[in-house]
Structure 1
Amino acid sequence: MRILAWHVHAAWMTSFVQGPHEYYVPVLPDRGPDGMGRAQTYPWPESVREITPEELRTADFDVVVLQRPHELGLFQRWAGRSLGRYGVPAVYVEHNTPRGDVNDWQHPLADRTDIPIVHVTQFNRTMWDNGRAPAAVIDHGVPDYGYQYSGDIDSLVVSVNEPVRRWRVAGIDLVRQIAEQVPVSVFGMGADELTAHIHSGLADVGEADQDGLHKRMAMHFAYLHPYRWTSLGLSLIEAMTLGMPVLVVSATAAPEAVPATAGLVSSNVDLLAATALRWLVDPDEAREKGMAARAHALEYFGLPRFLDDWDRMLKEVCR
């Protein structure tokens, strides 16, 4: 199957392109948001090829995987064809939770009956008003990066990009609160900016490529997932596959994704901090939680299940 999809979310796309198909990603000279081309820091297979807007005019695809509303217009302008019932089959992946007033949570494709909306969590499907559009859920899948947990560093770790801009959405104010009791390290694009906003409790900040990030994360004694409003951060699932015990703010899809055996999911920030302090003096409990987290993540968020689900969806769309 020949699939066109924009490179939008590198971590999700890294899992998606592991299937047995040919994948084409638009590329522009500046490699901006509408043409990033192949990932530079993630391991993508050779089956992923870059394609220019000019080449789209004559290229044939079995299906287009959309991830942003304006991509419908981009495809029509660049390829000179429409999508859906009277054009190339398409499916829309909704990665995000809705924003704004709850009464305005209508999905941009709610009036389309010919392009299914695939949500990445059950929470997302429930929160969005999908209107007349067919709506389905394909839960996240992540590669198995192997058991890497050592827990040698007495610091919690958070993985988040642009933490200052995403302050409350990403729960960075909660990170600051927890850091008053337990050291916290933060890694991701723009993490260095935190030093101007959090003046104590930060053990380490910085950026790392994906492979380096996993190694650095797994050296810390537990993973902290402070997000208030995100569908389900892939960094949380990846931390679990590494064998890390997790402390998770009880929001959006997290309570359904993380079992009690893997750590603690709670909206009580003081309880999250207290549990972290307990694990510091009881590393055996932390390691046991991490082993359970890994087993759960491999069973429910493994790559084979994810790719099988997507194969079924793409075949259905192309029928």
Structure 2
Amino acid sequence: MRVLLWHVHGSWTTSFVQGSHEYVLPVTPDRGPDGLGRARTWDWPTSVVEVAPEDLRAAEVDVVVLQRPHEAELVEQWLGRRPGVDLPAVYLEHNTPLHGEPDVPDTRHPMADQDLVPIAHVTGFNELFWDNGAAPTTVIDHGIVDPGHLWTGELPHAAVVVNDPVRRGRSVGTDLLPDLLAAGPVDVFGMRVDQLPPADGLRTHEDLPQARMHEELARRRVYVHTARWTSLGLSLLEAMHLGMPVVALATTEAAVAVPPSAGVVTTRRSELREAVSHFLADPAAAAEAGRHARAHALEHYGLPRFLERWDELLAEVVR
């Protein structure tokens, strides 16, 4: 099967293209948002091919995975086919509902109330909170390419992964960093983390390649998921695969993705700080929680299960 999709979410796409299909990605000369092509910082198989927009009509695409509302128009312009009518299609929703008018939980999904293109949500929380109307929906949980059980916990530091923490602020829990620093040193990884104001005990690690970031995360004693309002962060699932104990806010899908044996999930600031302090001070407890985290992640967020569910959905819309 030849699957057309745009390179929108690099980590998710890295897992998706591990399947048995051929994956067609639009590429433009400027490699902008509508033509980013193949990843530069992830390892993708040769089954991922770049095709210029003017060549897509001859690309013999079998199905398209839409991820942004305007991509349906691009399909019509570039392929001369209408998603859900002339070309089988799925709309993949990565995100929690957006704040606006109307506000959550009354936010209408852009594909609400049509019945030609099913909406695939990456978490049950997202499917529950978006107003999908009468549109057909399904949930396909994330799947992670297993980096291996790399945790050593040799550094008694907490690790946080967040992109753009200054601009995104409270949504990703940037304001919680002082609470974590009260428990011990904190290392923050991600894009534009160097914009954080300096603080004693805070170190930033700007946009490392994925394999290097996994190695560095695994040296830290505990992973902390600070996001208040975002879809289930793949960095959280990666940390669990690495064998890291987890301390997370009990918000969105994280409230059900992390079992009690894998760490602490809470809405209390004091419990967040106390849990981090506990794992920093007790390497044995951290190791035990990390083993449970990895076992749970492999069972519920492993790559085989993810690819199997996507194969089922693609076969359903194509037939």
* Same fold by TM-score greater than 0.5: yes
The separation in 1 between residues aligned to 2:287 and 2:199, in whole angstroms, is 30
> Where does residue 68 of structure 1 map in the other structure?
68
> Where does residue 223 of structure 1 map in the other structure?
223
- Preserved CA contact (<8 Å) 1:155 1:203: no
> Where does residue 54 of structure 1 map in the other structure?
54
> Where does residue 164 of structure 1 map in the other structure?
166
The separation in 2 between residues aligned to 1:128 and 1:48, in whole angstroms, is 31
Q: Percent identity?
A: 53
SS at match of 1:102: coil
- Preserved CA contact (<8 Å) 2:149 2:242: yes
TM-aligned CA deviation for residue 61 of structure 1: 1.1
- Tell me how large the CA RMSD over aligned residues is: 1.1
Which consecutive residues of structure 2, in runs of 5 or more, have no partner in the other structure? none
> Where does residue 130 of structure 2 map in the other structure?
128
What is the letter of the counterpart of residue 314 of structure 1?
L
Q: How does 1:246-285 map to 2 (within 5 A)?
A: 246-285=246-285
- 2:108 is the counterpart of 1:106: yes
- Preserved CA contact (<8 Å) 1:184 1:201: yes
The separation in 2 between residues aligned to 1:121 and 1:260, in whole angstroms, is 19
TM-aligned CA deviation for residue 104 of structure 1: 4.1
What is the letter of the counterpart of residue 64 of structure 1?
V
- Preserved CA contact (<8 Å) 1:154 1:220: yes
| TM-score, normalising length: structure 2 | 0.97
Q: How many residues align?
A: 316
Instruction: Indicate how the Cα distance of structure 1 residues 116 and 299 shifts in structure 2: closer, same or farther if over 3 A, else same.
Output: same
The separation in 1 between residues aligned to 2:238 and 2:48, in whole angstroms, is 23
SS at match of 1:305: helix
The separation in 2 between residues aligned to 1:254 and 1:121, in whole angstroms, is 10
> Where does residue 37 of structure 2 map in the other structure?
37
- Preserved CA contact (<8 Å) 1:154 1:280: yes
The separation in 2 between residues aligned to 1:146 and 1:103, in whole angstroms, is 38
What is the letter of the counterpart of residue 5 of structure 2?
A
| TM-score, normalising length: structure 1 | 0.97
Q: Which of 167, 172, 184 is residue 182 of structure 1 equivalent to?
A: 184
The superposition leaves residues 216-269 of structure 1 with CA deviations (integer Å, 9 ceiling, x where unpaired) of 000000001000011200000000000000110110011110000000000112
What is the letter of the counterpart of residue 254 of structure 1?
A
Which consecutive residues of structure 1, in runs of 5 or more, have no partner in the other structure? none
TM-aligned CA deviation for residue 75 of structure 1: 1.2
What is the letter of the counterpart of residue 90 of structure 2?
V
Q: Which of 150, 153, 158 is residue 152 of structure 2 equivalent to?
A: 150
The separation in 2 between residues aligned to 1:68 and 1:162, in whole angstroms, is 21
TM-aligned CA deviation for residue 163 of structure 1: 1.2
- Of the structure 1 ranges 110-119 and 277-286, higher mean CA displacement relative to structure 2 is found in 277-286
The separation in 2 between residues aligned to 1:270 and 1:93, in whole angstroms, is 37
- 2:236 is the counterpart of 1:236: yes
- Of the structure 1 ranges 307-316 and 97-106, higher mean CA displacement relative to structure 2 is found in 97-106
> Where does residue 306 of structure 2 map in the other structure?
306
